[in-house]
Each structure stands twice: as structure tokens, then as C-alpha cells.
């Protein structure tokens, strides 16, 4: 096993030293036997983890993505928890033995946060200096321990980050600094959007949020590179990082893939159907074949938009469910069949094969205690029985992992006025309609950003 690097062509990956091509094909991993949310590190069981990794490898997976935990990785804002770090090193060794590579995502709050970690508003940790310093501490400790390990594919700075938008002392302080340098005529206090619809976004405020995101990524990458210059860096972007994939009351994520690209090695994007949150804009993919096909057009647009020339794009979180009712957006979704889950997942791979060069599905195994689609989105059911989608994943694996998928050349460029798209919901609707129409005409869309 060798360290993985970006292919010299700027699309796809290969083993270090001019070795074999490498295409990520795998899943997001947590121990499904530890409740919800999963206690990956609190209840870490090497024997169970080894068995799970064997199941993932048995269906042809070559990569897993695992969440680090701020509660288990830090004793204090300035000190790494050595016991927590040892568990991560042990998991990496188990992955290597199974023939899997690992993406470390985090450090996050899935297993809770320490007493000293208190955010007054959602996502404040991306703007508050003391919490940023604590995260940098975690990354420095982790990077120093993992340097040069062949089973580590990449560090992922965070999972689905959103730049904060709710008023707080940290946001006001950051706004004052940004305003003084970039927009002295902007309001003295941050023009936070007013709930419940959050429609009054201003261009200055969105630019400010993008700067908060850029500063955060710069701090985290510097912390990692202080200890490890041997592995790839990425960040797990929510699909709302594309400026045409949000809509009030949801916010634009403001982690701008193109601004962040110089600090990272490749782009990671997540994609799920959004019909639950915006039924007037999206269709349920299980409604009909046409509805499923339309969902894939949205996936293609997001994947193609976030790409920066010279960097690969990996769809590192995707998938859908089958077998049982699931809870999403405080609503129960009726059970889909295993055949429907397979059609969705196979169809997504087929549709985006010219747009991304790797796929990681969510999750490895069904989790009955889950409060979302993790309940029944796995390759395996809760008893460990291989589902129809798991069999299909295994059949696809040899062709997927044999070579780097060829990127589809764009045949039409659509204008993407980022200022309009991040402030005007009507512009979001128009952009979405334009790319859907272009894809339906058989065109391959690229975006002209301005």
C-alpha cells in the first residue's frame, strides 16, 4: 500500500511514485452497533471494527470516511488526548490490514463536545478564535501522528461546514474586521438575515461569510501541514456550497469551493435528494423514473460547478434508502424497495461518471436506531445481510476501480452570477431551470462564474 496523490493530469488519483491509478470507491463508516448518534470512539471495539472492515472490503470498497471527535481527541483546548489518538491509530492499522484507505473527517461533535466547548449560535466554531485554536490543536496532534502512513488517504477539514449567519459576539467582531478592510460603507453591525424565511441576504454579508470560511480553512490547513506534508487535504462540502442549490429558509453554505481550492488538493462534495425540504423545487426520486432522472441532473450540476481546473472532485457522501420507513425533516418517508435504492445509487454513478472521479456512499450498514436515512441506506441490513445495493456495488467495483473515470467535456457554458445567486432566490430558480433544460437537451454543462 502506497500513499495516494493527485494524478499529474489534475483529474483522478494515483499511487505515489508513478504507481497505479486509484479511484475512491467506498463508504462512510461508523460502528452501527453503538446506538445513535454512533459512539465511534467512546465504544471503540477493535474486533467489531475489524469484522466491519472485512464486510466493506468483501464488496469491493477501497476507502472509508470516518469522523474524528473533538470530545475524544482533545483533553483541553491546548492538549491532545493521547488515548483518543491511539484509538484512531489503531483504526488506521485495522484499515490497512483490510486493504482500505481512510479519510479522517473532523474533528466534529457527533459524540458531543467538551464542557469548555460552548457555541452561542449554530456554526460559531468557524468564526470564534478560541474554538478555531482548539481545532488547530487537534489537527496538529493528529497530523504529527499520521504523517507518512500509507493507509491514510486524506484529511478532511470538516463535514458539511456552513459559515455562520446568526448574530453573536464572535460574528460581530469578525464583521468589524472584514468591514474595515473590504466594505467600509457597509452597515456597522452585520446584516444578518431575519427568520423565518431568511430572504434578505445582502451581497456584502455573503462575501463576508465566504471570507470567514476562507480564513478558517487557511488556519486548519496550516495546522495540518505543520505536522504532515505527505497526505492530501480536502473539506466535505455540503451541496449548498453551490450557490444555486440553496433556497430560503435554508442558507447558502458560503464555503466557496473555488476560493478554497488553492489551499486544498481536491474537492469533496455531498449530494442527496432535496424534495423533502423544497417539494416545490425538487421531485421525489422514488416518484417515477423521470423524477429520479431529474434528481441526477441536479447532482451533475453541483459536481460540475464546484470543480476547479487541476483538481479532482469526489462525491464523498451520497446514497438513498430502502426497506423501512425513515425520518427526514421531521417527516416519515414511506419505505422504498431495495430495487429502488439500487436504481438510485447505480443511476447516480452512471449519471456523474464524467463529473466526479470517486464515490463514497452513506453508510456501510443499516442502523435501526438512526433518526435519518441511515436507518436503511447501507450495503448491509442491520443483521449483516448483504442487500441488493451491496451486491450491485460489488459488481460495479472492478470496472470503477480499474481506471480513472474520464471527465466529460463541457459543451455549453451557463452564466452563474454568484452575487445574484447568493442573494436572490428568483435567480436560484432561474439557474436551476436553465441547467436542467440544457442537460435534457443532451448538453454537458459548465458554469461561467462571475
pLDDT in tens, 350-387: 999 999 999 999 999 999 999 888 999 999 999 999 99
Predicted model pTM = 0.96
Per-residue confidence (pLDDT) for residue 278, from 0 to 100: 79
Residue 176: its pLDDT value, please? 97
Plot region of 75 (φ>0 → left; ψ -120 to 50 → alpha; else → beta): alpha
Here the cell at position 296 is 441526477
pLDDT in tens, 205-247: 999 999 999 999 999 999 999 999 999 999 999 999 999 999 9
Q: Enter the C-alpha cell of residue 200.
A: 434578505
As given in the structure block, the three cell numbers for residue 218 are: 487557511
* Integer angstrom CA distances of residue 245 from 155, 344, 384: 26, 20, 35
User: What nine digits make up the cell of 354?
Assistant: 464524467
Q: 206: number of CA atoms within 13 Å, CB side?
A: 20
The structural architecture, per CATH, of the domain 4-409 is: Alpha-Beta Barrel (3.20)
Phi-psi sector, 154: left (phi>0), alpha (psi -120 to 50), beta = beta
Alpha helix (H) ranges present in 241-383? 257-260, 289-306, 338-352
Task: Write down the H helix ranges in 128-202.
Answer: 129-146, 169-182
Q: Where are the alpha helices (DSSP H) in 160-273?
A: 169-182, 203-227, 257-260
- pLDDT value of position 433: 96
CB 328 within 8 A of CB 376: no
Q: What is the pLDDT along the chain (450 residues), one digit of tens a residue?
A: 999 999 999 999 999 998 899 999 999 999 999 989 999 999 999 999 999 999 999 999 999 999 999 999 999 999 999 999 999 999 999 999 999 999 999 899 999 999 999 999 999 999 999 999 999 999 999 999 999 999 999 999 999 999 999 999 999 999 999 999 999 999 999 999 988 888 899 999 999 999 999 999 999 999 999 999 999 999 999 999 999 999 999 999 999 999 999 999 999 999 998 887 777 788 888 989 999 999 999 999 999 999 999 999 999 999 998 877 777 767 777 778 999 999 999 999 999 999 999 999 999 999 999 988 899 999 999 999 999 999 999 999 999 999 999 999 999 999 999 999 999 999 999 999 999 999 999 999 999 998
pLDDT of residue 199: 87
- Which residues fall within 8 angstroms of residue 331, CB to CB, at 6 or more apart? 276
Give the pLDDT of residue 329.
Answer: 67
Q: How much is the pLDDT for 438?
A: 98
User: Cell triple for residue 371?
Assistant: 433518526
3-state secondary structure (DSSP) of residue 200 = coil
**Domain coordinates of the chain in residue numbers?**
4-409
Range list of H helices, 284-330: 289-306
Which helix (H) or strand (E) segment holds residue 428: the answer is helix 425-440
Query: Which residues on adjacent β-strands are paired with residue 360?
Result: 26
Please measure the distance between the N-terminal and C-terminal CA atoms of the chain and give it in whole angstroms.
Answer: 42
Q: How far is the C-alpha of 304 from the C-alpha of 352, rounded, in Å?
A: 9
Q: Identify the sign of the CA torsion 66, 72, 74, 77.
A: positive
Is the Cβ–Cβ distance between 361 and 27 less than 8 Å? yes
Going by C-alpha positions, the residue among 67, 71, 93 that lies closest to residue 80 is 71
Q: Which of 296, 360, 409 is nearest to 103 (CA)?
A: 360
How many Å apart are CA 273 and CA 277, to the nearest integer?
9
Amino acid at each position: 500500500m502506497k500513499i495516494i496523490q493527485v494524478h499529474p493530469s489534475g483529474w483522478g488519483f494515483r499511487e505515489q511514485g508513478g504507481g497505479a491509478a486509484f479511484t475512491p470507491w467506498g463508504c462512510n463508516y461508523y460502528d452501527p452497533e453503538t446506538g445513535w448518534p454512533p459512539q465511534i470512539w467512546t465504544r471503540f471495539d477493535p474486533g467489531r471494527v475489524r469484522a466491519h472492515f472485512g464486510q466493506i472490503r468483501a464488496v469491493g470498497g477501497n476507502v472509508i470516511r470516518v469522523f474524528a471527535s473533538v470530545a475524544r481527541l482533545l483533553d483541553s483546548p491546548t492538549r491532545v488526548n493521547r488515548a483518543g489518538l491511539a484509538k484512531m491509530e489503531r483504526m488506521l492499522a485495522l484499515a490497512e490490514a483490510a486493504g482500505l484507505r481512510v479519510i479522517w473527517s473532523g474533528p466534529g461533535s457527533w459524540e458531543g463536545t467538551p464542557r469548555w466547548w460552548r457555541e452561542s449560535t449554530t456554526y460559531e466554531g468557524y468564526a470564534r478564535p478560541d474554538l478555531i485554536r482548539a481545532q488547530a490543536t487537534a489537527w496538529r496532534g493528529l497530523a504529527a501522528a499520521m504523517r507518512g502512513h500509507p493507509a491514510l488517504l486524506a484529511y478532511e477539514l470538516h463535514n458539511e461546514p456552513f459559515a455562520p449567519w446568526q448574530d453573536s459576539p464572535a460574528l460581530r467582531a469578525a464583521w468589524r474586521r472584514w468591514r474595515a478592510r473590504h466594505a467600509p460603507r457597509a452597515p456597522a453591525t452585520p446584516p444578518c438575515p431575519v427568520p423565518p424565511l431568511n430572504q434578505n441576504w445582502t451581497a456584502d454579508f455573503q462575501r463576508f461569510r465566504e471570507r470567514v470560511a476562507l480564513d478558517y480553512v487557511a488556519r486548519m490547513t496550516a495546522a495540518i501541514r505543520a505536522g504532515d506534508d505527505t497526505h492530501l487535504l480536502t473539506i466535505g462540502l455540503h451541496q449548498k456550497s453551490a450557490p444555486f442549490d440553496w433556497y430560503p429558509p435554508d442558507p447558502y453554505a458560503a464555503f466557496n469551493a473555488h476560493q478554497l481550492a488553492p489551499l486544498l488538493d481536491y474537492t469533496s462534495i455531498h449530494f442527496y435528494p432535496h424534495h423533502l425540504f423544497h417539494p416545490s423545487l425538487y421531485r421525489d426520486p422514488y416518484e417515477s423514473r423521470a423524477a429520479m432522472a431529474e434528481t441526477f441532473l441536479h447532482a451533475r450540476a453541483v459536481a460540475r460547478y464546484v470543480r476547479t481546473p487541476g483538481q479532482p472532485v469526489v462525491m464523498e457522501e451520497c446514497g438513498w434508502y430502502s426497506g423501512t420507513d425513515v425520518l427526514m425533516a421531521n417527516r416519515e418517508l414511506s419505505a422504498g424497495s431495495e430495487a429502488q435504492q439500487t436504481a438510485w445509487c447505480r443511476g447516480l454513478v452512471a449519471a456523474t461518471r464524467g463529473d466526479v472521479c470517486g464515490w463514497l456512499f452513506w453508510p456501510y450498514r443499516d442502523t435501526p436506531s438512526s433518526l435519518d436515512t441511515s436507518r436503511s441506506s447501507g450495503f448491509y441490513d442491520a443483521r449483516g445481510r448483504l442487500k441488493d445495493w451491496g451486491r450491485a456495488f460489488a459488481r460495479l467495483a472492478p470496472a470503477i476501480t480499474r481506471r480513472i473515470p474520464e471527465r466529460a467535456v463541457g459543451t455549453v457554458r451557463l452564466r452563474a452570477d454568484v452575487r445574484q445567486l447568493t442573494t436572490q432566490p428568483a435567480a436560484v430558480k432561474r439557474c436551476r431551470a436553465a441547467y436542467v433544460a440544457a442537460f435534457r437537451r443532451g448538453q454537458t454543462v459548465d458554469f461561467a462564474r462571475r
